[in-house]
Chains A and B, each alone.
Chain A
Amino acid sequence: GQNIDQPTEMTATEGAIVQINCTYQTSGFNGLFWYQQHAGEAPTFLSYNVLDGLEEKGRFSSFLSRSKGYSYLLLKELQMKDSASYLCAVRERRSLIFGKGTTLSVSS
Protein backbone atom coordinates (compact mmCIF):
# COMPACT_ATOMS: atom_id res chain seq x y z
CA GLY A 1 0.00 0.00 0.00
CA GLN A 2 0.87 3.64 0.00
CA ASN A 3 1.88 5.54 3.08
CA ILE A 4 3.47 8.96 3.26
CA ASP A 5 4.04 10.39 6.73
CA GLN A 6 5.02 13.88 7.78
CA PRO A 7 4.41 15.86 10.97
CA THR A 8 1.08 17.64 11.13
CA GLU A 9 2.30 20.94 12.52
CA MET A 10 5.56 22.75 13.24
CA THR A 11 6.36 26.17 14.64
CA ALA A 12 9.48 28.27 14.29
CA THR A 13 10.66 31.87 14.59
CA GLU A 14 11.85 34.28 11.95
CA GLY A 15 15.46 33.78 10.96
CA ALA A 16 15.57 30.22 12.25
CA ILE A 17 16.13 26.95 10.38
CA VAL A 18 13.46 24.26 10.27
CA GLN A 19 13.56 20.70 8.94
CA ILE A 20 10.39 18.95 7.84
CA ASN A 21 10.71 15.19 7.60
CA CYS A 22 8.85 12.82 5.33
CA THR A 23 8.89 9.03 5.31
CA TYR A 24 7.26 7.00 2.61
CA GLN A 25 6.28 3.48 1.71
CA THR A 26 5.01 3.20 -1.84
CA SER A 27 4.71 0.42 -4.36
CA GLY A 28 6.75 2.37 -6.87
CA PHE A 29 9.16 5.27 -6.75
CA ASN A 30 9.92 7.67 -9.52
CA GLY A 31 10.98 10.74 -7.59
CA LEU A 32 10.00 12.78 -4.54
CA PHE A 33 8.63 16.31 -4.67
CA TRP A 34 8.11 19.02 -2.10
CA TYR A 35 5.38 21.58 -2.61
CA GLN A 36 4.33 24.69 -0.69
CA GLN A 37 0.65 25.44 -0.33
CA HIS A 38 -0.93 28.55 1.17
CA ALA A 39 -4.49 28.22 2.44
CA GLY A 40 -7.02 28.15 -0.39
CA GLU A 41 -4.37 28.12 -3.09
CA ALA A 42 -2.83 25.50 -5.32
CA PRO A 43 0.50 23.90 -4.42
CA THR A 44 3.64 25.45 -5.85
CA PHE A 45 6.72 23.40 -6.69
CA LEU A 46 9.71 23.67 -4.36
CA SER A 47 12.05 20.78 -5.07
CA TYR A 48 12.55 17.39 -6.66
CA ASN A 49 14.82 14.49 -5.68
CA VAL A 50 15.20 11.23 -7.55
CA LEU A 51 18.73 10.28 -6.50
CA ASP A 52 20.08 10.08 -2.96
CA GLY A 53 21.57 13.25 -1.61
CA LEU A 54 20.94 16.91 -1.07
CA GLU A 55 19.49 19.37 -3.57
CA GLU A 56 19.95 23.02 -2.68
CA LYS A 57 17.89 25.85 -4.07
CA GLY A 58 18.37 29.18 -2.34
CA ARG A 59 16.95 29.10 1.18
CA PHE A 60 15.39 25.69 0.57
CA SER A 61 17.15 22.33 0.43
CA SER A 62 15.77 18.83 0.10
CA PHE A 63 17.38 15.53 0.96
CA LEU A 64 16.53 12.00 -0.12
CA SER A 65 17.53 8.54 1.06
CA ARG A 66 15.82 5.94 -1.09
CA SER A 67 17.05 3.00 0.98
CA LYS A 68 15.46 4.50 4.08
CA GLY A 69 12.35 5.81 2.38
CA TYR A 70 13.13 9.19 3.87
CA SER A 71 13.31 12.79 2.79
CA TYR A 72 13.48 16.15 4.47
CA LEU A 73 12.92 19.75 3.44
CA LEU A 74 15.20 22.28 5.08
CA LEU A 75 14.16 25.92 5.22
CA LYS A 76 16.79 28.48 6.24
CA GLU A 77 16.48 32.12 7.28
CA LEU A 78 12.78 31.71 7.86
CA GLN A 79 10.46 34.55 6.93
CA MET A 80 6.87 35.20 7.94
CA LYS A 81 5.76 34.47 4.39
CA ASP A 82 7.07 30.91 4.77
CA SER A 83 4.04 30.16 6.97
CA ALA A 84 2.21 27.60 4.84
CA SER A 85 1.60 23.89 4.41
CA TYR A 86 4.46 21.84 2.99
CA LEU A 87 3.48 18.76 1.07
CA CYS A 88 5.70 15.77 0.45
CA ALA A 89 4.70 13.86 -2.69
CA VAL A 90 6.02 10.66 -4.25
CA ARG A 91 5.68 9.94 -7.93
CA GLU A 92 4.48 6.43 -8.52
CA ARG A 93 4.71 5.65 -12.20
CA ARG A 94 3.06 8.76 -13.62
CA SER A 95 0.96 10.18 -10.78
CA LEU A 96 1.85 12.06 -7.61
CA ILE A 97 0.75 10.68 -4.24
CA PHE A 98 0.68 13.33 -1.54
CA GLY A 99 1.26 13.21 2.18
CA LYS A 100 -1.14 15.09 4.45
CA GLY A 101 1.13 18.06 4.65
CA THR A 102 2.92 19.88 7.46
CA THR A 103 1.53 23.23 8.55
CA LEU A 104 4.43 25.52 9.41
CA SER A 105 3.78 28.63 11.49
CA VAL A 106 6.54 31.24 11.58
CA SER A 107 6.36 33.84 14.32
CA SER A 108 8.33 37.01 14.88
Chain B
Amino acid sequence: GAVVSQHPSRVICKSGTSVKIECRSLDFQATTMFWYRQFPKQSLMLMATSNEGSKATYEQGVEKDKFLINHASLTLSTLTVTSAHPEDSSFYICSARGRGASGSHNEQFFGPGTRLTVL
Protein backbone atom coordinates (compact mmCIF):
# COMPACT_ATOMS: atom_id res chain seq x y z
CA GLY B 1 0.00 0.00 0.00
CA ALA B 2 0.89 3.67 -0.16
CA VAL B 3 2.47 5.58 2.71
CA VAL B 4 1.14 8.73 4.32
CA SER B 5 3.16 10.50 6.99
CA GLN B 6 2.13 13.09 9.52
CA HIS B 7 4.22 15.48 11.55
CA PRO B 8 4.35 16.00 14.44
CA SER B 9 3.06 12.83 16.04
CA ARG B 10 2.40 14.62 19.31
CA VAL B 11 2.16 18.28 20.19
CA ILE B 12 1.40 20.11 23.40
CA CYS B 13 0.65 23.81 23.21
CA LYS B 14 -0.72 26.62 25.30
CA SER B 15 -4.22 27.93 24.87
CA GLY B 16 -4.39 30.70 22.28
CA THR B 17 -1.46 29.54 20.18
CA SER B 18 -1.61 28.07 16.68
CA VAL B 19 -0.45 24.60 15.70
CA LYS B 20 0.38 23.34 12.22
CA ILE B 21 0.13 19.66 11.30
CA GLU B 22 1.67 18.38 8.09
CA CYS B 23 0.45 15.44 6.05
CA ARG B 24 2.56 14.02 3.24
CA SER B 25 2.01 11.28 0.70
CA LEU B 26 5.42 9.66 0.32
CA ASP B 27 5.13 7.49 -2.76
CA PHE B 28 2.10 8.70 -4.64
CA GLN B 29 0.38 11.88 -5.72
CA ALA B 30 -2.47 12.76 -3.39
CA THR B 31 -5.10 14.42 -5.51
CA THR B 32 -7.50 14.42 -2.58
CA MET B 33 -6.72 14.69 1.10
CA PHE B 34 -9.06 14.32 4.02
CA TRP B 35 -8.71 15.56 7.59
CA TYR B 36 -10.41 13.69 10.41
CA ARG B 37 -10.68 14.30 14.13
CA GLN B 38 -11.17 11.57 16.68
CA PHE B 39 -12.06 12.08 20.33
CA PRO B 40 -11.40 9.25 22.82
CA LYS B 41 -13.58 6.21 22.20
CA GLN B 42 -15.35 8.03 19.38
CA SER B 43 -15.33 7.50 15.65
CA LEU B 44 -13.38 9.43 13.10
CA MET B 45 -15.25 12.60 12.18
CA LEU B 46 -14.51 14.08 8.78
CA MET B 47 -13.53 17.73 9.12
CA ALA B 48 -12.73 18.70 5.57
CA THR B 49 -11.80 17.48 2.12
CA SER B 50 -9.24 19.19 -0.03
CA ASN B 51 -8.21 18.80 -3.64
CA GLU B 52 -4.79 19.91 -4.75
CA GLY B 53 -4.77 23.53 -5.76
CA SER B 54 -8.29 24.36 -4.64
CA LYS B 55 -10.00 25.44 -1.44
CA ALA B 56 -11.00 22.83 1.10
CA THR B 57 -14.60 21.79 1.55
CA TYR B 58 -15.53 21.81 5.22
CA GLU B 59 -18.11 19.61 6.89
CA GLN B 60 -21.03 21.20 8.65
CA GLY B 61 -20.07 22.54 12.06
CA VAL B 62 -16.35 22.81 11.32
CA GLU B 63 -15.07 26.39 11.44
CA LYS B 64 -12.99 27.08 8.38
CA ASP B 65 -11.38 30.12 9.97
CA LYS B 66 -10.24 28.07 12.91
CA PHE B 67 -9.02 25.01 11.02
CA LEU B 68 -7.03 26.29 8.07
CA ILE B 69 -6.26 23.72 5.42
CA ASN B 70 -3.75 24.18 2.65
CA HIS B 71 -3.22 21.58 -0.07
CA ALA B 72 -0.54 23.35 -2.02
CA SER B 73 1.02 20.37 -3.75
CA LEU B 74 0.23 16.81 -4.70
CA THR B 75 2.24 15.47 -1.79
CA LEU B 76 1.55 17.92 1.04
CA SER B 77 -1.45 19.19 2.95
CA THR B 78 -1.36 21.17 6.18
CA LEU B 79 -3.92 21.71 8.90
CA THR B 80 -3.43 24.73 11.12
CA VAL B 81 -5.44 24.92 14.32
CA THR B 82 -5.60 28.65 15.07
CA SER B 83 -6.05 30.06 18.56
CA ALA B 84 -6.23 26.57 20.00
CA HIS B 85 -8.34 25.89 23.08
CA PRO B 86 -8.45 22.87 25.40
CA GLU B 87 -11.57 21.58 23.65
CA ASP B 88 -9.52 21.29 20.45
CA SER B 89 -7.43 18.60 22.12
CA SER B 90 -7.96 15.52 19.99
CA PHE B 91 -6.37 12.99 17.65
CA TYR B 92 -6.11 14.46 14.15
CA ILE B 93 -5.69 12.02 11.26
CA CYS B 94 -5.14 12.81 7.62
CA SER B 95 -5.97 10.52 4.76
CA ALA B 96 -5.04 10.66 1.11
CA ARG B 97 -6.18 9.22 -2.16
CA GLY B 98 -4.69 9.69 -5.56
CA ARG B 99 -2.61 8.69 -8.52
CA GLY B 100 0.10 6.10 -8.42
CA ALA B 101 -1.02 4.61 -5.16
CA SER B 102 -1.01 0.87 -4.91
CA GLY B 103 -3.99 -0.80 -3.38
CA SER B 104 -7.44 -1.21 -4.74
CA HIS B 105 -10.82 0.39 -4.98
CA ASN B 106 -9.66 3.96 -4.92
CA GLU B 107 -8.57 3.34 -1.38
CA GLN B 108 -7.88 6.03 1.17
CA PHE B 109 -4.56 5.71 2.98
CA PHE B 110 -4.29 7.06 6.49
CA GLY B 111 -1.47 8.85 8.22
CA PRO B 112 -0.38 7.80 11.72
CA GLY B 113 -2.21 10.67 13.38
CA THR B 114 -1.25 13.66 15.51
CA ARG B 115 -2.16 13.83 19.18
CA LEU B 116 -2.85 17.48 20.05
CA THR B 117 -3.07 18.54 23.69
CA VAL B 118 -3.97 22.14 24.45
CA LEU B 119 -3.24 23.28 27.99
Contacts and interface: CB of A to CB of B under 8 A. Distances in A.
A and B from one assembly? yes
Interface of A: 31, 35, 40-45, 48, 50, 87, 94-101
Nearest to B46: A95
B52 to A, nearest CB: 14
A-B pairs with lowest CB-CB distance, top 8 = A42-B110, A100-B43, A48-B105, A98-B43, A98-B44, A42-B113, A42-B112, A43-B110
Contact of B105 (A43, A50, A94, A98): A50
B104 A48 contact: yes
Contact of A42 (B45, B46, B105, B111): B111
A45 B32 contact: no
A87 B43 contact: yes
23 contacts: A35-B110, A40-B91, A40-B113, A40-B115, A41-B113, A42-B111, A42-B112, A43-B44, A43-B93, A45-B107, A45-B108, A48-B104, A87-B43, A87-B44, A94-B32, A95-B34, A95-B46, A96-B108, A97-B46, A98-B36, A98-B43, A98-B45, A98-B46
Interface string B35-64: 010000011111001000000000000000
